[in-house]
Amino acid sequence: MSTTTLPPRTGHAPFSGSPERAAVRLAEAGPHGQYVVYERDGAWWYAGGVRAALVLDRSRVTLDHQGEVTSAPWHEDPLETVHRMLSLLPYPDWRAYGWAAFELSYALAGEPVELGTEPLLRLVIPETEVRLSAGGAEIRCSAAAEEAAVRALLAATEPDAGPVEFTPVPVDLGESPEGSYRASVARAVEAIRSGELQKVIVSRAIPVERDLDLPATYLAGRAVNSPARSFLLDLGGIEAVGFSPETVLEVSEDGRVSTQPLAGTRALVGDRAEDAARRAELLTDAKEIYEHAISVQVAWEEMAGVCREGSVRAEEFMAVKERGSVQHIASRVSGELPDMDRGPWPALAALFPAVTASGVPKAAAFQAIRRLEPGPRGLYSGAVLTVGSDGSLDAALVLRTVFRQQGRTWLRAGAGVVGDSSPDRELEETCEKLRSVSRSLVPAGAVEPTSAAG
């Protein structure tokens, strides 16, 4: 692969409105057909266009850098091949953005027969990268014309910077007439009580019949959610708006790694006294505490398998985090990688998929999920992630998300099933989670699109 490439143009720029509105302007009206908007720790990143693209499928990893294609088969460890292919990039400093489908877990578990034909991982090195925070915008562009277009959009003024006003698209969150979800939960409980596994997350999809304005839905949803991460993307034929309650994995450039399992749920109703009562109930509910404890135990064991001996610890245990329409029991497990020779990929291989979206033990949970759910999950319960040449990685768990692909739009939510689960209660829990997104679905045409004219 050629190593002659021009460095990106860099600079700083002011922007009008909030960071999230400026990021959405770039997504909605910018010069790029594909993009990722990613929120982390009070800042928003916009990654637009495709300078280089990496795709992992059931048999190969393919890197396309400006039309020059390199492809290699993967065998036991697909992410080792990903790491090797990314090392071919002719940039001293790059950051990739993209997504991993839930079915990547089957490749990592050595179950290639279950992989299907869809991509398992897609990453892009963007043509334009913008970091937006209270201090302004930091811009990296591969061409002067793109930089000019980005600066114009950042400076554009909006006619109304207030909340998005709309009537939400109605969505029926109820059970299907045949009661298939409750039946699946009952089958899962039976499998757990027979000793096949300890916990499994059983999910269901809800169709959205009307066309949506996804950028406006992102702004409306972000206004009423308090996510650990949020994202808006159109990449590789998949569009998604999500308000992730937790991270699958966080890796810093010095090898510090952490994960944040959330398990155990109660609804938030908006009444302070009632929400406090539900929080107290959550923290004393034996079923919810058990569900959380075994998730933390698995996360600890997975971290211990890849971290320096003695470095794994619980930085936070059984706190309660408010995430949109629900509250969860939350813990954080951290550690230190022994070296960074293989980048963050061994840690991702160890922790993906999140135990809180799969089950305990994971291998048995995978079998149960395939048996109980009618088809592949795709991006749901996978990850939206960003990874850098410095070894850093941040992966948001894809929950509380609206998806659009091939003319179909849908929501999806699941509940953690253990031996004491009730099918009626688990169905109710999926409804509580779905409301984090369903109350913010903006119909197409309800909001005037942004333009650079101001």
Q: Answer yes or no: are the C-beta atoms of 236 and 122 closer than 8 Å.
A: yes
Does residue 354 form part of some domain? yes
Does residue 28 form part of some domain? no
Does residue 89 form part of some domain? no
**Which pair of tokens denotes residue 300?**
């600890």
Does residue 213 form part of some domain? yes
Q: Which backbone phi and psi does 344 adopt, to 5 degrees?
A: -85, 0
Q: What's the number of domains the chain is made of?
A: 1
Does residue 173 form part of some domain? no
Comparing CA positions, the residue from 328, 452, 332, 342 lying closest to residue 393 is 342
Q: Answer yes or no: are the C-beta atoms of 258 and 124 closer than 8 Å.
A: no
DSSP element (H, E) containing 436 = helix 423-438
CATH number at residue 311: 3.60.120.10
Does residue 377 form part of some domain? yes
Per-residue pLDDT tens digits for 357-403: 999 999 999 999 999 999 999 999 999 999 999 999 999 999 999 99
What amino acid is encoded at 395 in this protein?
Answer: A
Q: Check 246, 291, 429, 432 and give the catalytic one.
A: 246
Q: Answer yes or no: are the C-beta atoms of 91 and 103 closer than 8 Å.
A: no
Does residue 305 form part of some domain? yes
Q: Give the per-residue pLDDT at 91.
A: 87
What amino acid is encoded at 288 in this protein?
Answer: E
More confident of the two residues 153 and 113: 153
Q: Give the per-residue pLDDT at 365.
A: 97
Region of 116 on the Ramachandran plot (φ > 0 left; ψ -120 to 50 alpha; else beta): left
Quick one: pLDDT band at residue 452, thresholds 50, 70, 90? very low
Domain residues for 372? 180-438
Confidence (pTM): 0.93
Please name the residue ranges forming H helices in 109-241: 144-155, 180-193, 214-224
Q: Give the per-residue pLDDT at 248.
A: 96
39 classed as catalytic: no
Does residue 297 form part of some domain? yes
Q: Give the per-residue pLDDT at 144.
A: 83
Cα–Cα distance measured from residue 201 to residue 194, given in angstroms and rounded to the nearest whole number:
17
313-320: Cβ within 8 A, 24+ apart: 315/258, 318/283, 318/289, 318/292, 320/279, 320/282, 320/283
More confident of the two residues 454 and 215: 215
Per-residue pLDDT tens digits for 57-110: 999 999 999 899 999 999 889 999 999 999 999 988 999 999 999 999 999 999
